Amino acid sequence: MFGPRCIHLILRRCSSAPCPKRAVTPKLLRVQEALEVPNPTGDDIKVQGWVRSVRSQKDVLFVHINDGSSLENLQVVAVPRLEPRELTFGSSVEVQGKLVKSPHKRQRVELEAENIRVVGPCDVLTFPLKYKTCQSLEYLRQFPHIRCRSNSLSALLRIRSEATSAVHAFFKENGFMHIHTPIITSNDCEGAGELFQVEPASKERVPGENPHFFNVPAFLTVSGQLHLEVMAGAFTKVYTFGPTFRADNSQSRRHLAEFYMVEAEISFAESLQDIMQVMEDLFKKVTNVVLSKCPRDVELFHKYVAPGQEAKLEQMLKNPFITMSYTEAIDVLKRARQVFTYKPEWGQDLQSEHERYLVQHCGEIPVFVFNYPYNLKPFYMRDNEDGASHTVAAVDLLVPGVGELCGGSLREDRVDFLQSRLQKLGLEHTYQWYLELRQFGSTPHGGFGMGFERYLRCILGVENIKDVIPFPRFPHSCIL
Ligand code: 4AD
Ligand code: MG
């Protein structure tokens, strides 16, 4: 070991006479990190990524590299002799060189290559993405294994990732605890029968043994709500954010068989207002984070995919959301000049054409519709006991371009009300544990669920829900 004196000498000697050069290993940077170096002065770096363009001129070679860390590519400049034979659009590469200020207006920095190595070649003739071609979201949907390398899908997936972190941050900042609710469950929370049943693929029957793997029929969850209600009875404010499954046979632009749902449950919540406030705050807070963290990615959608969406979103963010009872909503629809395919009638569900009209009627500002007919909604919603026009304390948030984004309610916390409703549905035995929650320190409580893909569609203006999830699952399609 060198003592402090020795080190001092070595340093002195080094400062008077040139030190023998040590080989410096170039630092591996992500493209985004390289683009953000404030004042590049020729540091040796290395980047790895995929080639977005190759332009070979007589005495200079330009290569653009992207590694998914940003929408912007890093420009590599090199002398033509460094061009490997297999360097093409789509190939994966590792480039080592000096990061310098760029003389070109279009970028601040560039990488002067000293070595370009093709890690994996790409057959451009059969590669589904084409150089300098803007391919539609619909075209890209055919290639779920490749489309994440396109500008639009990679921007979308970065936004999705930031929005996910922002959802978690929102709940943490507001005193909610995160719960992993189960994916396999024995209940049908929504009672709509849109369940996927879970059984082992290989059905080896043991005589005398229960035929069900779990002894009871088990399903992929349609909602984590009932499990969250259990947890809200101990932790007061809880949330979950995970995959949710519905076997509804819909090919619509707003339904998936597997989607992500953000769900929150709040004990001691006495009014729907408490629930609506959380929904509105969640929407606005998460969106503001996304706008500030991914401005370029969002711009791609607002400029090229859904022109006009930026102004629409601003309108949603700057105005307080509107509230309207279901009964008022039906009145508005009945007075409308528009002819609907489904005639609006008190007691009937709102169709997407009705939802669209209501949002338009509210000046394209999100609108909470509350107090729905008792007979339309699941067993767990709190009875408003309001006589002839019998309603429950339910609330849906309708948003421009999408329709229903969130569904929530106050929960029936009174044991006698719940018991008689379950009895009528023949579910008393199944939900014995749920009834018990109302016997052991019950509290008024409520919560909601927000469809995460519908949220992304709403802020970005993307028309089809299949384009805002990495691997869409819907009837007759489960690619990969
Ligand atoms: O309105 P839903 O069915 O509400 C519930 O499941 C409640 N148990 C949630 C709760 O209170 N904890 O679903 C909530 C949201 C809908 O508003 C919609 O945005 C989304 O989930 N959603 C779907 N998104 C994509 N594909 C589908 N098939 C969807 N079904 C519902
Ligand atoms: Mg709903």
The residue among 199, 195, 240, 248 whose CA lies nearest residue 222 is: 195
Q: Whole-angstrom Cα distance, residue 375 to residue 327?
A: 14
Query: Nearest Cα to 161, choosing from 258, 314, 293?
Result: 293
Among 66, 101, 120, where does a domain finish?
A: 120
| pLDDT attached to residue 22 | 59
Distance CA 383, CA 377 (A): 10
- Taking the CA atoms of the chain, what radius of gyration do you get in angstroms? 29
Q: Is residue 474 part of a domain?
A: no
Atom of ligand 1 nearest to the CA of 448: 11
- Among 376, 439, 431, 360, smallest CA distance to 409 is for 376
Atom of ligand 1 nearest to the CA of 454: 19
Q: Is position 318 within any domain?
A: yes
**Is residue 472, in this structure, part of any structural domain at all?**
no
CATH of the domain at 12: 2.40.50.140
Q: For residues 228 and 277, give the distance between their C-alpha atoms in angstroms, rounded to a whole number.
A: 19
CA of 415 to the centre of ligand 2 (A): 24
β 219-220/237-245 pair status: unpaired
Same domain, residue pair 294 and 351: yes
What are 29's two structure tokens? 């940077």
* Ligand whose nearest atom lies closest to the CA of 192: 1
Residue 130 located in a structural domain: no
> Residue 116 has what pLDDT?
97
Same domain, 270 and 403: yes
**Residue 402 CA, closest ligand 1 atom number:** 19
5: three-class secondary structure by DSSP: helix
- If asked whether residues 109 and 211 sit together in one domain, one would say no
> Domain range spanning residue 114?
4-120
Residue bearing the CA closest to ligand 1, atom 21: 451
Question: Ligand 1: which residue has its CA nearest to atom 9?
Answer: 449
**What is the residue-wise DSSP string for 329-370?**
HHHHHHH-SSPPSS---TTSPPPHHHHHHHHHHTTT--EEEE
What tokens appear for 451 in the block?
Answer: 């469809």
Q: Are residues 391 and 271 in the same domain?
A: yes
Supply the pLDDT for residue 13: 33
Assigned domain for 209 exists: yes
How would you write 212-242 as a 3-class SS string?
CCCCCCCEECCCCHHHHHHHHHHHCEEEEEE
Mutate to test the pocket of ligand 1, among 221, 261, 276 (most ligand atoms within 8 A of CB): 261
User: CB within 5 A of ion ligand 2: which residues?
Assistant: 407
Q: How far apart are CA 244 and CA 60, in angstroms?
A: 52
Q: Are residues 229 and 89 in the same domain?
A: no
Closest ligand to residue 350's CA: 2
Distance 2 CA to ligand 2 centre (A): 71
The Cα 259–Cα 244 span in angstroms is 5
**Which regions of the chain are under pLDDT 70?**
1-24
Whether residues 170 and 105 fall in one domain: no
Percent of the chain scoring above 70 in pLDDT:
95
Q: Which ligand is the nearest neighbour of the Cα of 224?
A: 1
Same structural domain, 67 and 162: no
Amino acid 206: pLDDT: 82
Residue 254 and residue 332 in one domain: yes
Q: Same domain, yes or no, for 292 and 421? A: yes
Task: Indicate the helix (H) or strand (E) that contains 56.
Answer: strand 41-56
Q: Are residues 329 and 455 in the same domain?
A: yes
Q: Is 320 contained in some domain?
A: yes
Residue nearest to atom 28 of ligand 1 (CA): 255
Ligand lying nearest the CA atom of residue 265 = 1
CATH code for the domain of 184: 3.30.930.10
Q: What is the dihedral of CA 308, 309, 313, 319, to 10 degrees?
A: 40
Strand pairing report for 27-28 and 41-56: parallel
| Pocket, ligand 1, Cβ cutoff 6 A | 189-190, 223, 225, 246, 248, 255-256, 259, 261, 263, 404-408, 447-449, 451, 453-454
Same domain, 310 and 442: yes
- The answer to whether residues 115 and 151 belong to one domain is no
Considering the domain boundaries, does residue 138 fall inside one? no
- Regarding beta strands 184-185 and 219-220, do their DSSP bridges make them parallel or antiparallel, or are they unpaired? antiparallel
Each residue of 400-454: pLDDT tens digit?
Answer: 999 999 999 999 999 999 999 999 999 999 899 999 999 999 999 999 999 999 9
The answer to whether position 425 is within a domain reads yes
Number of domains in the chain: 2
> What pLDDT was estimated at residue 166?
98
CA distance 68 to 154: 7
The residue whose CB lies within 8 Å of the most ligand 1 atoms, and thus the one to mutate among 250, 259, 392, is 259
Quote the pTM value. 0.93
